[in-house]
Homo-oligomer: A and B are copies of this chain.
Amino acid sequence: MTVTKIKNMEEFAAVSGLSRPTISKFFNDPQSVRPSTRTRIEEALERFDYRPNIYAVNQNRQLTKTIGIVVPYLADPFFAEIARNIETRCIEEGYSPSLFSSHGRQEQENDILETLRSMKPAGVLIAPLGRISDKAFIERFCKDVPTVLFDSKLEDVGQVFIGSDNMQFTSMMVEYLNRSGDAPCFFEMKTPTNPNARKRRQAYIEAMKRLGHQPKIVQVDGVGWDFEEIGHRGGLEALNNDRFETSTVLCSNDRLAIGFLAACYQKGVRVGLKENCHLRVAGHDNHPFSKFTCPSLTTVSQDYAAISEKSVRMLFDLIASETSDSAHKDTLFEGKLVMRDSA
């Protein structure tokens, strides 16, 4: 590396012996210049490490190379994991991902979208807060910016949604639990933030009826995203008051199940399949930590990789197509039964 500091494209063009427009073309698309030219530029890059000023670049672009990623709650390893996958894929495609978390608050979600709008991103991937999202606000955003919604569907918002087939998730699990023991109760929050939760409840009810059982739903209080806490407190309360009519509990999601398992442990309720166990417990999502609960949690796995991959691909399709064909495209992935020790 040389001592010379290159401070703009003009100077870099000089040291590489080319003209500025050629350098500009190169940075927009290396393939657009002749191989020999490309080599010369790359050699110069080795010697002088220059990078175009991103602000100057983006100012003159109607469309930047930024991809916005918005998740509702980053402290949930599920979203952290999805975000990681998406980030990686975006980088591979030559885009710069920018990650945001709404931290469970509508106001923040809207602020993020405002910020994003001013960033003129090529596209945005958003997992909305759900029930408490400002639907109209997000809808307007989707009209202006190519946006893919994932995880949490908002009816009639956006052109593309990628998520899980919650009906299939829950049906499969209810059937499994039913044929391997008694029919499950359903353990959930009274007012879940996430629309997936509502689908799961519905699927539970339908599956139970189909199997000739009376649905038995145990709802607990609590708002926000501290699902473990809610599952724990609500679980204790439900156990204390004998609210579970069968010896099998299907939790609306794994985080709730983690809290519930803690409650069981505390109450001395043995969970699992073994002879001396009182209760079977299952969840949904295959949360990264569900393998390490006590006992390890039987659950339905979301296909993280597939959801991330498909979301990104659909976004790039959307960007490429340009046409605002208002055909709503939904993609739902099926889950796989992950059988562990808890049920």
Interface residues of A (CB under 8 A from B): 51, 53-56, 58-59, 64, 74-77, 80-81, 83-84, 87-88, 96, 98-101, 103, 114-115, 118-120, 228-229, 232, 258-259, 261-262, 265-266, 288-289, 291-296, 341
Kindly report which residue of chain B lies nearest to residue A91, judged by CB atoms.
Answer: B111
Q: Which of B51, B75, B289 is the one whose CB lies under 8 Å from A81?
A: B75
Q: Is the CB–CB distance between B101 and A98 below 8 Å? A: no
Q: Is the CB–CB distance between B75 and A265 below 8 Å? A: no
Q: Is the CB–CB distance between B54 and A56 below 8 Å? A: no
The A interface is mostly helix, strand or loop, or mixed, namely helix
Q: Is the CB–CB distance between B103 and A292 below 8 Å? A: no
- Tell me the smallest distance from the CB of A5 to a CB of chain B, in Å: 12
Kindly report which residue of chain B lies nearest to residue A52, judged by CB atoms.
Answer: B118
8 contacts between A and B (CB under 8 A): A75-B77, A80-B80, A228-B292, A232-B291, A259-B292, A261-B294, A262-B293, A293-B294
Q: Is the CB–CB distance between B53 and A118 below 8 Å? A: yes
> Which 9 residue pairs across A and B have the least CB separation, nearest first?
A265-B294, A294-B294, A75-B80, A55-B59, A262-B292, A55-B58, A55-B55, A228-B292, A74-B80
- Tell me the smallest distance from the CB of A10 to a CB of chain B, in Å: 15
- Tell me the smallest distance from the CB of A239 to a CB of chain B, in Å: 14
- Tell me the smallest distance from the CB of A126 to a CB of chain B, in Å: 16
Kindly report which residue of chain B lies nearest to residue A61, judged by CB atoms.
Answer: B55
Chain B residues with CB under 8 A of A120? 55
Q: Which of B103, B118, B288 is the one whose CB lies under 8 Å from A54?
A: B118
CA distance A54 to B56 in the complex (A): 10
